[in-house]
Each structure stands twice: as structure tokens, then as C-alpha cells.
Amino acid sequence: MLTTTRGFWKIFFLSIITLGFYGLYYIYRLAKDVNLTCAEDGKNDVGGLGFFILMSIISFGYYAFYWNYRVCDRMAELIIKNGGQPRITGGGWLLWTILGSFILIGPLVAQVKQIHQWNDVNKIYNDKHPELA
């Protein structure tokens, strides 16, 4: 059974306390869960160390934008496919993160929406697979 109770503040404070290591675990878990729940689309996202290497060393941070865009889009497609209304799409994530940075809280709004959408996608998966409970 996948977790459906993740919250922004818990992730935020654990990332601070662990000097960013929980942030890497968060990326790892998000990628793993999205790859599992959205497996029907045939795509696969890297997480954890692969994300860190691509984000920082190879792309100078731009990969993080692409990765989050792609993850939000995959989750939104699954929610729409199951008759729901997504909280945020890939384009919405980019708008909140880039343009929202001018009002300072935009990136936080994008992150909160992404986390809640992750919970929504996990709930859809859990409902489809009750044998895993």
C-alpha cells in the first residue's frame, strides 16, 4: 500500500534537519511511486542519485525543471484518465515555479500541489489494487 498522507511541512523540515538528504530520498520515493502508479504510460523517471547527477553536474540544475514538469504531467494524465481533476500539470508546475518566484511563494505553491497530487495518485493506485493493503 502506497502512502497517501505526505505533507509539505514534514518534507520541508526533514530536508533541513538532514541537510538535504531527505530531499534526495523524497525525489527517490516520488520517482519510484510515479513509475509504479503510472507504469501504463510506458515512461520511466530517474530518482535519487541519478536525479542529483543529472541535475547538478550535467545540466547545471535545468534537469530539475524538466523532471518536475514530467512527473507532474504523468500524474495529471493518470488522474484525468481516472475521471479526476489534477491539482497541477507540468505546465502549471513551471508557471508556479518560474513566474511564481516573482511573488516569492510560487515555488512553494508548486511543491505543495505536487505533494498533494502525489497522494491523490497513490490513492488511485491503492484503490485499484486492494490486494496490496
The structural domain count of the chain equals 1
- Predicted local distance difference test score (pLDDT) of residue 114: 97
- Please tell me the pTM assigned to this model: 0.88
Dump strand ranges (E) for 1-133. Answer: none
Contact 47, 65 (CB under 8 A): no
- Examine residue 58 and state whether it is found in any structural domain, yes or no: yes
Q: What pLDDT, on the 0 to 100 scale, is given for residue 63?
A: 82
What pLDDT sits at residue 49? 66
Q: How far apart are CA 94 and CA 8, in angstroms?
A: 18
Given a contact cutoff of 8 angstroms between Cβ atoms, the answer to whether 8 and 127 are in contact is no
Give which of 114, 35, 39, 1 is closest to 48, Cα–Cα: 35
pLDDT tens-digit series, residues 46-77: 666 676 776 667 777 788 888 899 999 999 99
Answer whether residue 95 is part of any domain.
yes
Ordered per-residue pLDDT tens for the chain, 133 residues: 898 999 999 999 999 999 988 988 898 899 899 999 998 887 777 666 676 776 667 777 788 888 899 999 999 999 999 999 999 999 999 999 999 999 999 999 999 999 999 999 999 999 998 887 6
Angle separating helix axes 8-17 and 21-37, nearest 10 degrees: 140
Residues in the chain: 133
**Which residue range(s) make up the domain with 83?**
8-132
